[in-house]
């Protein structure tokens, strides 16, 4: 009898504690908004049962309609788990394999990409497929402006992409495009329209008030409309005029989501293989932190499975703590709120506070004390090839990524720092690298970039027009008084370009990485922004070698001109005032054709690189002229054989100079109509006096 009484008292005590918790949840919900604000939906599932289901605010401000159990809101990217679940279901039923290349179902995509793009790569954002939302932003036509935009439009844009942002499986980069492609794969494999297939899928899950957007003009029963406050305290309805689905745009009720969360918690009890497998990492995946539309990492220092979503004014958050059998789900049509923060606040009520397990990598103790603070300043490349800058201003060391505001670093020991807003993340500086140390034991190694002086010639080499055939977008770079500017169709004004180093420029959140050919000419710019990596823009103008050297009091120019008799070509070297007027000139050449490509400044004069048919062994030969500071010839030499060799550029070496050009070889000396010829990049190493030391045949080119 005594034992029974004790059990009853314990149950009453637990019940009273639970009631207290739920009252606190109520108070949290009520504190976030008034009854006349756009709505908030909050649910808690514990031990397979719904223990809290709360609603506050309005679904329609225009008509004063309150949110309730029938209201449907858009959970945005939290919907990805359902698209992934449909793919997993098809895989478990052997209708497809997660190892299948997506071109098995979508053969028109990426015909030039040789690497396999597997279905699982799409699911966990390791495919390298660029995010179409950010591609549209580069086009200056963001998705929310495009009336009637649908999945077919998005896929059409992806079809124009000739390459991937990175090798599939080599890294993680969140991309909505993957889930848009998954909807099309579902259609191909199932033989049904996606909305028909997904509609039946939700009904089988008992989610009768859940469906993906089909047409923004269609009536969604009991829809909670999206509202934003644009900073003036006035609510406005957020315009939603697109027909996208699969990556988000799932309209659902809180009741349906809680039914699904119950099914997840009870999956092992019911032996529901689909739901059990959906909460695990993807088999054979290169990463384990993102699975079937779900993030798989700790939250509040507990093992958790979670995902958030945000589209316009809609947002949502689901957090599952599988070992505690606890789920918090929050969604809202109110832009002033954020579901993730509310979900965390509520989760803390049910979880005992757990301190993070501190396990820094042991190498943190090996941070060098011998490096001067001035030597840690500079630019570093992250493992993902992003550039960050360690700078000093007002006696403060800062970390800066792109155009983001500098983050102050707090010194903890010589060359060991912590981030000002998160003292748990440490930064240690070593010779030519820095390491981020996380309390979990993880590390990220950043390599220091040698300091690169950007010359006036470099600035001039960036100038030109650049075009992306994939996006049908063009921008131009100009040099105005040795300051770079950039203009892009759709921008109201020309913008200044910040030169970070010789190979990287910055404007707004656009990182422009310079690509050069074998002769050091700027040929392409790779544009990176947000979820778009390395989108290629090909240089269409000013694709020339370096014919000009800026000096303190003017410039040195080399060019090709007609000879005095007008029947041949000569090389002209001039020194000019800043206004372009000539100070002196020197002419070089023979009785045939002599052409200049570029000029290189040397310690005692100049090196002119070009080609000649006046001198040498064959048709055209590589031609190099060495002059003094007044342009007087010191020596000249040719390099090549019977066919055509051209000189394009040069650089100083320890032993002399490296001349870069091309060399031609043909199958016949005489049969010009039937012979075949190849052209290769050709590097010739010469000493200070122009004598050939060695040469190297490189790749064949067009």
pLDDT at 57: 98
Helix (H) or strand (E) segment spanning residue 379: strand 378-381
- Whether residue 36 is contained in a domain is answered as yes
Same domain for 173 and 34: yes
Say whether both 282 and 423 belong to one domain. no
Q: What is the mean pLDDT of residues 435-452?
A: 92
Widest Cα–Cα separation across the chain: 124
Q: Are residues 535 and 554 in the same domain?
A: no
Q: What is the pLDDT of residue 567?
A: 84
pLDDT tens digits, 28-44: 999 999 999 999 999 99
Return the pLDDT at 416. 93
Among 145-149, 262-266, 412-416, 475-479, which stretch is predicted with the lowest mean pLDDT? 412-416
Average pLDDT for 649-653: 93
DSSP strands (E only) in 87-218: 211-212
Can you give the pLDDT at residue 9? 44
Here the tokens at position 610 are 């070009």
Is 80 exceeded by the pLDDT of residue 7? no
CB 593 within 8 A of CB 613: yes
> Which residue from 116, 174, 173, 182 is spatially nearest to 154, judged by alpha carbons?
182
For residue 8, pLDDT beyond 70: no
Same domain, 57 and 139: yes
Instruction: Summarize the confidence of residues 386-406 as an average pLDDT.
Output: 91
pLDDT of residue 670: 79
pLDDT tops 70 at residue 4: no
pLDDT at 13 over 80: no
Q: Is a pLDDT exceeding 90 seen at residue 255?
A: yes
Q: What is the pLDDT of residue 414?
A: 86
Cα–Cα distances in Å, from 189 out to 87, 100, 176?
A: 10, 12, 21
Confidence of residue 16 (pLDDT cuts 50, 70, 90): low
Q: Residue 137: which CATH number?
A: 3.40.710.10
**Cβ atoms < 10 Å from Cβ of 205:** 17
Domain match, 693 and 570 both: yes
pLDDT on residue 15: 61
Q: Which is it for strands 605-612 and 621-628: parallel, antiparallel or unpaired?
A: antiparallel
Structure-token pair, residue 673 = 């109509």
**pLDDT digit string, tens, across residues 297-351:** 999 999 999 999 999 999 999 999 999 999 999 999 999 999 999 999 999 999 9
Does residue 22 sit within a domain? Answer: no
List the domain range (segments joined by +) for residue 517: 456-539
pLDDT of residue 10: 38
pLDDT at 579: 86
Look at the block and give the residue holding tokens 């060359």: 415
- Residue 256 burial (C-beta neighbours within 10 Å; 0-12, 13-18, 19+): buried
Least confident of 111-115, 393-397, 547-551: 547-551
Report the C-alpha gap between 19 and 51 in whole angstroms. Answer: 10
CA distance 597 to 599: 7
Whether residue 482 lies inside any domain: the answer is yes
The residue out of 350, 375, 403 marking a domain boundary is 350
For residue 104, pLDDT beyond 90: yes
| Same-domain status, 392 and 461 | no
Handedness of CA 77, 82, 88, 94 (dihedral sign): negative
One domain for residues 588 and 528: no
- Let me know whether 437 and 509 are in one domain: no
Strand order in the sheet with 326-332: 49-56, 40-46, 326-332, 314-321, 305-311
Residue 465 within any structural domain of the chain: yes
Structural domains counted in the chain: 4
Checking if the pLDDT of 658 tops 50, the result is yes
Question: Residue 5 falls within a domain, yes or no?
Answer: no
Which residue, of 414, 431, 448, is where some domain finishes?
Answer: 448
**E runs forming strands in 82-239:** 211-212, 227-229, 235-237
Enter the DSSP assignment of 664.
E
> What proportion of the chain, given as a percentage, has pLDDT over 90?
80
Q: Give the pair of three-digit tokens for residue 578.
A: 């800043």
Are residues 64 and 187 located together in one domain of the fold? yes
> What does the pLDDT read at residue 308?
98
pLDDT of residue 546: 85
pTM, full prediction: 0.88
Q: Same structural domain for residues 330 and 474? A: no
Q: Can you tell me the distance from the alpha carbon of 32 to that of 226, in angstroms, rounded to the nearest whole number?
A: 17
Whether residues 173 and 258 share a domain: the answer is yes
**CB-based contact 228:335 (threshold 8 Å):** yes
Is 6 within a domain?
no
Mean pLDDT over the full length of the chain: 93
When pLDDT is averaged across residues 488-503 and rounded to a whole number, the result is 92
| CATH number of the domain bearing residue 507 | 2.40.128.50
Mean pLDDT of 227-232: 89
Flag whether 10 is in a domain. Answer: no
Exposure string for 367-393, b = 16+ CB within 10 A, e = fewer = beeeeeeeebbbbbbeeeeebbbbeee
Which of 539, 564, 590 is where one domain is finished?
539
Task: Determine the average pLDDT of the residues in 133-139.
Answer: 96
User: Measured between alpha carbons, how far is 183 from 194 in angstroms, rounded to an integer?
Assistant: 6
The residues that bridge with 687 in the sheet, in sequence order, are: 656
Mean pLDDT to the nearest integer, 56-71: 97
pLDDT above 80: residue 615: yes
592 lies in the same domain as 648: yes
In a domain, 18, yes or no: no
């Amino acid at each position: 009898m005594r034992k029974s009484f004790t059990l009853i008292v314990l149950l009453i005590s637990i019940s009273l504690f639970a009631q207290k918790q739920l009252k606190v949840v109520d108070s949290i919900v009520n504190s976030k908004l008034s009854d006349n604000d756009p709505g908030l939906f909050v649910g808690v599932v514990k031990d397979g049962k719904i223990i809290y289901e709360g609603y506050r605010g309005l679904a329609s401000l225009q008509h004063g309609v309150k949110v309730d159990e029938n209201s449907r809101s858009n959970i945005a990217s939290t919907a990805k788990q359902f698209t992934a679940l449909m793919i997993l279901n098809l895989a478990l039923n052997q209708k497809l394999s997660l190892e299948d290349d997506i071109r098995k179902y979508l053969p028109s995509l990426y015909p030039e990409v040789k690497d396999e793009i597997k279905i699982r790569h799409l699911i966990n954002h390791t495919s390298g497929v660029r995010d179409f939302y950010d591609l549209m932003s580069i086009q200056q036509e963001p998705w929310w402006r495009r009336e009637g935009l649908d999945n077919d439009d998005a896929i059409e844009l992806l079809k124009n992409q000739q390459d991937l942002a990175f090798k599939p499986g080599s890294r993680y980069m969140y991309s909505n495009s993957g889930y848009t492609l998954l909807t099309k794969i579902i259609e191909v494999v199932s033989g049904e329209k996606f909305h028909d297939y997904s509609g039946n899928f939700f009904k089988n899950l008992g989610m009768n008030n859940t469906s993906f957007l089909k047409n923004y003009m269609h009536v969604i029963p009991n829809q909670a409309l999206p509202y934003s406050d644009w900073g003036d305290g006035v609510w406005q309805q957020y315009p939603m005029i697109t027909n996208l689905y699969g990556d988000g745009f799932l309209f659902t009720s809180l009741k349906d989501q809680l039914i699904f969360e119950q099914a997840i918690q009870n999956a092992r009890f019911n032996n529901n293989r689909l739901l059990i497998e959906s909460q695990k990492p993807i088999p054979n995946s290169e990463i384990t932190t993102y699975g079937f539309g779900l993030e798989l990492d700790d939250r509040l220092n507990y093992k958790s499975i979670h995902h958030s979503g945000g589209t316009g004014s809609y947002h949502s958050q689901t957090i599952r703590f599988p070992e505690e059998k606890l789920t918090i789900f929050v969604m809202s049509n109110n832009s002033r709120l954020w579901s993730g923060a509310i979900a965390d606040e509520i989760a803390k009520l049910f979880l005992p506070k757990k301190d993070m397990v501190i396990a820094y990598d042991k190498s943190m103790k090996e941070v060098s004390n011998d490096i001067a603070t001035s030597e840690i300043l500079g630019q570093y490349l992250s493992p993902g090839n992003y550039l960050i800058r360690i700078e000093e201003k007002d006696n403060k060391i800062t970390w800066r990524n792109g155009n983001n505001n500098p983050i102050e670093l707090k010194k903890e020991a010589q060359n060991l720092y912590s981030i000002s807003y998160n003292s748990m993340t440490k930064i240690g500086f070593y010779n030519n690298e820095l390491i981020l140390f996380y309390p979990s034991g993880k590390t990220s190694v950043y390599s220091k970039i040698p300091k690169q002086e950007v010359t006036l010639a470099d600035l001039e080499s960036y100038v030109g027009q650049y075009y992306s055939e994939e996006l049908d977008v063009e921008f131009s770079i100009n040099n105005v008084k040795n300051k770079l500017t950039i203009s892009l169709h759709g921008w109201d004004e020309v913008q200044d370009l910040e030169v970070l180093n010789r190979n990287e420029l910055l404007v707004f959140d656009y990182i422009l990485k310079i690509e050069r050919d074998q002769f050091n000419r700027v040929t392409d710019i790779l544009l990176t922004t947000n979820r778009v990596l390395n989108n290629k823009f090909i240089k269409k103008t000013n694709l020339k070698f370096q014919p000009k050297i800026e000096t303190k009091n003017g410039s040195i120019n080399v060019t090709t001109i007609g000879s005095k008799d007008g029947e041949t070509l000569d090389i002209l070297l001039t020194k000019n005032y800043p206004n372009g007027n000539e100070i002196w000139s020197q002419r070089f050449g023979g009785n045939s054709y002599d052409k200049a490509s570029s000029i290189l400044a040397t310690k005692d004069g100049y090196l002119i690189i070009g080609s000649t048919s006046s001198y040498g062994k064959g048709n055209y030969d590589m031609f190099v002229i060495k002059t003094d500071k007044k342009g007087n010839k010191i020596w000249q030499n040719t390099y090549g054989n019977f066919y055509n060799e051209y000189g394009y550029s040069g650089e100083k070496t320890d032993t002399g100079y490296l001349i870069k050009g091309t060399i031609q070889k043909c199958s016949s000396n005489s049969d010009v109509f039937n012979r075949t010829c190849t052209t290769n990049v050709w590097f010739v190493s010469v000493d200070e006096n122009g004598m050939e030391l060695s040469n190297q045949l490189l790749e064949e080119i067009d």
